[in-house]
Structure 1
Amino acid sequence: MKTLNYIFEQFSSLAWGLPLLILLVGGGLYLLVRSKFLPFRYVGHAVSVLQGKYDDPNDPGQISHFQALTTALSSTIGMGNIAGVALAISVGGPGAMFWMWVSAIVGMSTKYFTSTLAILYRGKDSEGVVQGGPMYFIMEGLGKHWKPLAVMFSFFGMLGALPVVNVNQLKQAINDIILIPNGVEVSLQSNLVIAFVLVVFTSLVILGGLKRISTMASRLVPSMVLLYFILVMIILAINYTEVPKFLALIVTDAFNADYYPKDESFLGGVLGALILHGIKRGAFSNEAGLGTAPLAHGAAKTDEPVREGLVAMLGPAIDTLVVCTLTALAILVTGVWETTSDNGVSLTANAFQNAMPGYGQYLLMLCVFFFSVSSLFSYAYYGGKCLSFLFGAENKHYYNYLYIASIVLASITEFEAMINFIDGVFALMAIPTMLSTILLAPKVLEASKSYFSRLKTSKNN
């Protein structure tokens, strides 16, 4: 197992080098400036679209704007918000959260562009069904000679959609919160039982296809975000005197890197390593620039690409700026990040237990379960779409077997191995997504200009 950990650690380190950081963050900043901060100027309109004010049942697509966003959020609002944030702080200290904020702000622009492209250049799979996503806007927007980029995204997309981190951390939460405190010995057999239950539960949903997945997501996501929000607000209310101090520390430590290991460096120093660490955890949380969200938003029922881009850009704001910040503050104000060596979901559980002794960790367990299960549904859909592109839609059911096998593997593998594996794969997904998005950016700007001109005309009339 140590060999597996080492291999995935080296894989992640190689993938997350300076070129990727420039492509992901620099590319996102380029899109933000090139659009003259357009996404942020139309947040109100984005909310109106999300509320269904512009829905037309006769538009092409499979699901509503709201269902597309909740399907995308059900994959991003998961262990990245609980285990990912805990990992960011336990390794990098409070300053890591600041760089997660940066990734979210830049990511809002990136998601606007990628999800607009997902509608603007929809293609058809081998069964003639209209589909959207990076592999399709690469082929339809850039042409068939760019197919290697589409194949690269689809291959690594299949791997990136494997739910190994979510399953691993759900297993860890069940062990730490339920089994161990009640005297149940954790073993290979008990972990396999957890995996078996997840396989059965997940199969019942994913075999129903996108309609069932989006319906489940639209019901689960709002309620689980609300529950988590209430619980964290209780923790912050209990420790209200500490909140201003740690909000300030998040900003100051982002440039001091006082809590980051001094023996690690990137771009010539510890601060560079902290920036990379925060951006990496931000990408794991909101997935902006990776290409997963356009797979969901590309299925939205609309003939206006810009509308879906506006809806999609709300994702990083909800996911990272709100949910991840709440998790970070809960960990920081309770002090568990300095008093325990726990990592991942176990660290967050300590924060909840510290603030609400006796029942806090059980309430977190409820949130963890819904966060994890909703992510399982969406990732299965993403992976199936990637396999369909590579091997034909008639073969997409074979992805379910790989998916199920990964659930079992993740239940018996260490957290560090799984997070390094996913980090590395996500990096390789970002390369074709960001390259194609930057190349097609003028098409998005052209569509945006046309859409907002028509919107302004219709309001004046």
Structure 2
Amino acid sequence: MIFLNLHDAVAQFSSWIWGIPLLILLIGGGFFLFVYSGLVPFRYLGHAVNILRGKYDKHNSPGDLSHYEALSSAIAATVGMGNISGVAIAIATGGPGAIFWMWMSAFVGMATKFFTCSLAIMYRGKDEEGNIKGGPMYVITEGLGKQWKPLAIFFAAAGLIGTLPAFQANQLTQTLIDVFQVKESNVLTSKFLLGITIAIITSLVIFGGIKRIGKVAAKMVPMMVVIYLVTVLTILFLKFDQIPTIFSLIFDDASSGRAVLGGALGTVIITGIKRAAFSNEAGIGTAPMMHGTAKTNEPIREGLVAMLGPAIDTLLVCTLTALAILASGVWQNFEGNGISLTLSSFDNVLPYGLGSVILTICVLIFAFSTLFTYSFYGYSCLSFLTNTKTGKYYNYIYIITIVIASVIKLDFVINLIDSGYALMAIPTVISTLILAPKVKKAANDYFLKLKNNKL
């Protein structure tokens, strides 16, 4: 009874917090930053790639991770279950039109990432041991002043919820249950045992700290993206004739919501924005915590690198997932949700059960890469609220959460994490909008130096 009440309360809160005011703040704020930037950062995408390649790396700069490791770690957190399961949830809940609003959210998200992650370098803090730290909580206290600390505390407290590994653990166990066709009577026990196994594997990496997480992510991310892209492109090749129809369906449903909701356009928009926020995390505040550890003294440089995240995550990977699901046709009559829909879509197109096999491999890599990275976010939030010594205990909470999340219902998990994300977005976007002029001034100076070959 207590769980049922909690389930309903979380669902109601998630529905309420993701109302019009938050959408105005998140998307309206992102659109303002998009326009305010003068689109200048978008003209330097080639320069961002050169930074990523290590052309401007200086190993004696303060920080823990290279530009590449910082982006890889941030992408490891974003290119995960949100791209495989989250897209399926978006289509099942909001119809094909939700994908269009995910795209729109990604475009403004690129500008948001540029500003938030530039600020993460511009206003870094230090813990009591002298280690450099980044993230919205430090941007607020260092950039806005100590009188704004309650807002920083609000972000960190919300971050303890939003960065829990619940969604990844839940959908990873569900994938394995579906693939191995576990009998209904054995599902709960199997999920529990899988949860324990996942927790053990995750602990081997996260207890090694941020540097180990960064090195593991740097190796996993390229491999997982390539395997997944090749698989999805194969599906699209087999269904090539349907691609124009699918795009037409996405655009038509984006303005009507007719596909599954009978014209509930507001739900289509909200669903797309929520799932995009979960996918690329622009404006939420997690990525700045990772990018804030980059080895650099140039805030704009890291902002440019971070801007590539939503492009890779949402515009590329999420789009390919959506096209594969829609091309299969399974989504129209499917009763399930999340990863089960993606699995059925892949199996419907690829022969001999290859879809389940390949997707399972991708899910394992995607889920674990996210599980490894998210632990650092929660650790950072707890360390800010308490101290570094206490913050290290977060990993134990994290591991226990993996086991619990493996056996509870998906809708509760989604509502819980969505609620945490919504609360995190409020201080992140507010502080970014206030400090945006600082970033624009720094950007003008940086691009002038670049033009004059003075970097």
Confirm or deny: 8 A CA contact 2:171 2:338 kept in the other structure. yes
Q: 1:266 corresponds to which residue?
A: none
Tell me, what secondary structure is at the counterpart of 1:359?
helix
Q: 1:195 corresponds to which residue?
A: 195
Percent identity for Structure 1 against Structure 2: 54
1:113-192 matches, within 5 Å, as 113-180=115-182, 185-192=185-192
Q: CA deviation at 1:185?
A: 4.9
Q: 2:92 corresponds to which residue?
A: 90
Which segments of 5 or more consecutive residues in structure 2 lack a partner in the other structure?
Answer: none
Alignment of 1:321 with 2:307, yes or no, is: no
Q: CA deviation at 1:260?
A: 4.1
Q: CA deviation at 1:430?
A: 0.1
From 270, 275, 278, the equivalent of 2:272 is 278
Q: 1:246 corresponds to which residue?
A: 246
Q: CA deviation at 1:179?
A: 4.0
From 372, 386, 391, the equivalent of 1:391 is 386
For residues 185 and 246 of structure 1, the distance between their equivalents in structure 2, rounded to whole angstroms, comes to: 39
Alignment of 1:20 with 2:15, yes or no, is: no
Q: 1:265 corresponds to which residue?
A: none
Confirm or deny: 8 A CA contact 1:179 1:185 kept in the other structure. no
For residues 93 and 137 of structure 2, the distance between their equivalents in structure 1, rounded to whole angstroms, comes to: 35
Q: Which amino acid aligns with 1:105?
A: F
Deviations 1:390-416 (A, max 9, x none): 000111111012111211110111000
Q: CA deviation at 1:240?
A: 0.5
1:51-70 matches, within 5 Å, as 51-70=53-72
For residues 315 and 105 of structure 1, the distance between their equivalents in structure 2, rounded to whole angstroms, comes to: 11
Q: 1:291 corresponds to which residue?
A: 285
Q: TM-score, length-normalised on structure 1?
A: 0.96
For residues 261 and 243 of structure 2, the distance between their equivalents in structure 1, rounded to whole angstroms, comes to: 25
Alignment of 1:233 with 2:233, yes or no, is: yes
Alignment of 1:410 with 2:380, yes or no, is: no
Alignment of 1:448 with 2:448, yes or no, is: no
Q: Which amino acid aligns with 2:278?
A: F
For residues 441 and 92 of structure 2, the distance between their equivalents in structure 1, rounded to whole angstroms, comes to: 44
Q: CA deviation at 1:368?
A: 0.4
Confirm or deny: 8 A CA contact 1:235 1:352 kept in the other structure. yes
For residues 185 and 456 of structure 1, the distance between their equivalents in structure 2, rounded to whole angstroms, comes to: 66
Q: CA deviation at 1:51?
A: 0.7
Which segments of 5 or more consecutive residues in structure 1 lack a partner in the other structure?
Answer: 263-268
Confirm or deny: 8 A CA contact 2:110 2:307 kept in the other structure. yes
In the alignment of these two chains, the number of paired residues is: 452
Q: CA deviation at 1:3?
A: 3.3
Confirm or deny: 8 A CA contact 1:77 1:371 kept in the other structure. yes
Q: 2:418 corresponds to which residue?
A: 423
For residues 189 and 90 of structure 1, the distance between their equivalents in structure 2, rounded to whole angstroms, comes to: 28
Q: Which amino acid aligns with 1:433?
A: T
Q: 1:222 corresponds to which residue?
A: 222
Q: TM-score, length-normalised on structure 2?
A: 0.97
For residues 39 and 341 of structure 1, the distance between their equivalents in structure 2, rounded to whole angstroms, comes to: 43
Q: 2:80 corresponds to which residue?
A: 78
Confirm or deny: 8 A CA contact 2:177 2:187 kept in the other structure. no
Q: Which amino acid aligns with 2:68?
A: F
For residues 404 and 207 of structure 1, the distance between their equivalents in structure 2, rounded to whole angstroms, comes to: 11
Q: CA deviation at 1:5?
A: 2.9
Q: Which amino acid aligns with 2:379?
A: G
Tell me, what secondary structure is at the counterpart of 2:8?
helix
Q: Which amino acid aligns with 1:193?
A: L
For residues 164 and 40 of structure 2, the distance between their equivalents in structure 1, rounded to whole angstroms, comes to: 34
Q: 1:438 corresponds to which residue?
A: 433
For residues 11 and 398 of structure 1, the distance between their equivalents in structure 2, rounded to whole angstroms, comes to: 28
Confirm or deny: 8 A CA contact 2:98 2:254 kept in the other structure. yes
Deviations 1:231-261 (A, max 9, x none): 0000000110001110121112100111242
Confirm or deny: 8 A CA contact 2:199 2:399 kept in the other structure. yes
Q: Which amino acid aligns with 1:3?
A: N
